[in-house]
Structure 1
Amino acid sequence: MGTTPPAGTTSPSTSTSRSTSTSATATPTPKAAPRQKSTPTPTPTPTAKKPGDSLNPGDSGAYVETVQRQLSDLGYWNGIPDGQFGQLTVQAVMALQKAAGLGRDGVFGPATRRALLAGVRPTSQVGGTGIEIDKARQLLLVVRGGQVTMILNTSTGSGQHYSYEGQDAVALTPSGTFSVFRTVDHLDKGPLGDLWRPRYFNGGIAVHGAAAIPGYPASHGCARLSDAAMDMIWADGLMPVGSRVVVY
């Protein structure tokens, strides 16, 4: 006959069984590795441009301002030198490139720098006082007393065919001597596009501001300038009614 264990005790076989069960339940779960924090990539500091470097739209600094002043001194209008290579400086650089017979990309590279240092600038072909539009080089010249005082990038008639009022037409800027006969001091919405503050000198052909002035002929016949250049012409009274415009 077996002996009953005292209260509060267990038999050896029962104790062994519980110990095995407890050991299996208490096996620790491996912990996940801590998440690594990503380190942000530092933004590189722009390298300051120095004399002799190429300059691109968007560049800024003392060297840009030096180039802007040199362009202005030669007559290539680019507003007030401010050290920012913006659209006005692009237009001035393109005008210099056209005068020098270079590629017309608006980038101030080695060949353009040499042209600037050499003082390349166009001269008047007719003398006197007025405006000259050089179609071959796509330049607009402000002439006073036979001397070119300002050089602007322009874009004249593309020579392409287009349709107007059901008729085929060709985008040409006729050569000849004309005079300003009408001005519009606001945006003039014409049948072929919008003209900013135009100064008409030959029928519907005018010198006017436009959003795009590429390095090649692209208009329907007008001479395009930047809006800022057109504002300057108005502010300085450079093309009053009756003034001469020579296209060649």
Structure 2
Amino acid sequence: MIHERLDSTRSTKVLAAALMVAATALSGCGAVSFGGSGSSASDPVAAPLATPPAASSSPSQAEPTTEAPSPSGTDVAATPTKVPTTSAPKPKPAPPSTTKPAPMTPSPTTPKPTPKPTPKPQPTAGDTIQVGDSGAYVRTVQERLSALGYWNGTPDGQFGMLTSQAVMALQKAAGLGRDGVLGPSTRQALQAGIRPQSRIGGSGIEIDKARQLLLVVRGGRVTTILNTSTGSGEHYTSEGQQYVALTPAGTFSTFRAVDHLDKGPLGDLWRPRYFNGGIAVHGAGSIPGYPASHGCARVSNPAMDMIWATNLMPIGSQVVVY
């Protein structure tokens, strides 16, 4: 009886081993466990082997299987899992272009011609002339002024500041309005040859305060006539002292000459020639038709340059103010 049980148990084990070998050959994934971890006399009979799935005729459609441990620790066939299909990567967008578009060229347009200013007509004999005029008639007037002794530089047909100063000196000599414009009355005085005469005679400089004229006299004859501006007669303060802007009358002599811009407490003097203390004949930028200085006799800067160039006021020369 005991032998029969042993034979029965041995037969059962042989059958279980055979089934295991068959399952291994059919699964394709390794041994399949049907129960506990080991073999014993109490091992139950193995369950029938599951029918393997039919093989697919297309290799690309086969779904692989994986094995995963069960929660109870017993190895069982895992549920087949689909392998995710790898999709092709999306193409990256092209980087923005760094090339700047060519600038738009405006269509060429024909520029409008700039209108030429209408030239001012040149004055003719008998016309009123003033600063800014030019032409043959202006040159004729300049030459006539020079012949009478009214210094206006070299005649060039351009009515500028020097011509205006000469016309103003003529107007003073003739007792006319002092605006530097050659109108009808001034033109008549020019044609009449009006010019001042020396009061003292001899040689030197005469300063006529009443007519505001500076005369260069040689041998009792007036050779050069300049527009001047002397002391205004106004009160002013200098270095805390009160003064009156006067050009004292009298006979003096040139005692000092400064051949550059002389800066003084009352203003700048261009190349002054002193004849009475701080009073001098000097150049200035403004020589109006009336007394306007602190006491000096102003003439234009070009006129002062001419005095230096021709040595009309040498040291020791006489200066008469009346």
TM value normalised by structure 1 = 0.83
The alignment partner of 1:156 has SS state of: coil
The alignment partner of 1:200 has SS state of: strand
Tell me the alpha carbon deviations over residues 80-128 of structure 1, each in whole angstroms, 9 at most, x when there is no partner. 0001101000100000000000000000110000000000000000000
Aligned residues: 212
Are 2:181 and 1:107 aligned?
yes
Q: Gaps spanning 5+ residues in structure 1: where? A: 1-36
Are 2:244 and 1:170 aligned?
yes
Are 2:234 and 1:155 aligned?
no
Tell me the alpha carbon deviations over residues 5-51 of structure 1, each in whole angstroms, 9 at most, x when there is no partner. xxxxxxxxxxxxxxxxxxxxxxxxxxxxxxxx988665222112101
Aligned-residue offset at 1:166: 1.0
What residue in structure 2 maps to residue 245 of structure 1?
319
Are 2:304 and 1:230 aligned?
yes
What residue in structure 2 maps to residue 204 of structure 1?
278
Distance in 2 of aligned mates of 1:135 and 1:103: 16
Distance in 2 of aligned mates of 1:109 and 1:197: 34
Are 2:125 and 1:51 aligned?
yes
Distance in 2 of aligned mates of 1:150 and 1:49: 27
The alignment partner of 2:172 has SS state of: helix
Tell me the alpha carbon deviations over residues 181-233 of structure 1, each in whole angstroms, 9 at most, x when there is no partner. 00000000011000000000000000000000000000000000000000000
- Whichever residue aligns with residue 137 of structure 1, its letter is R
Distance in 1 of aligned mates of 2:272 and 2:217: 19
Distance in 2 of aligned mates of 1:113 and 1:97: 10
Distance in 1 of aligned mates of 2:285 and 2:223: 24
- Whichever residue aligns with residue 60 of structure 1, its letter is S
What residue in structure 2 maps to residue 121 of structure 1?
195
Task: After TM superposition, list the pairs within 5 Å mapping 1:58-73 onto structure 2.
Answer: 58-73=132-147
Higher relative contact order (CA 8 A, sep 6+): 1
Are 2:236 and 1:183 aligned?
no
Aligned-residue offset at 1:56: 1.1
What residue in structure 2 maps to residue 84 of structure 1?
158
What residue in structure 2 maps to residue 214 of structure 1?
288
Distance in 2 of aligned mates of 1:68 and 1:175: 32
Aligned-residue offset at 1:167: 1.5
Q: Max radius of gyration: which structure? A: 2
The alignment partner of 2:252 has SS state of: strand
TM value normalised by structure 2 = 0.64
Tell me the alpha carbon deviations over residues 159-197 of structure 1, each in whole angstroms, 9 at most, x when there is no partner. 001111111110000000000000000000011000000
Identical-residue share of aligned pairs (%) = 75
Q: Gaps spanning 5+ residues in structure 2: where? A: 1-110
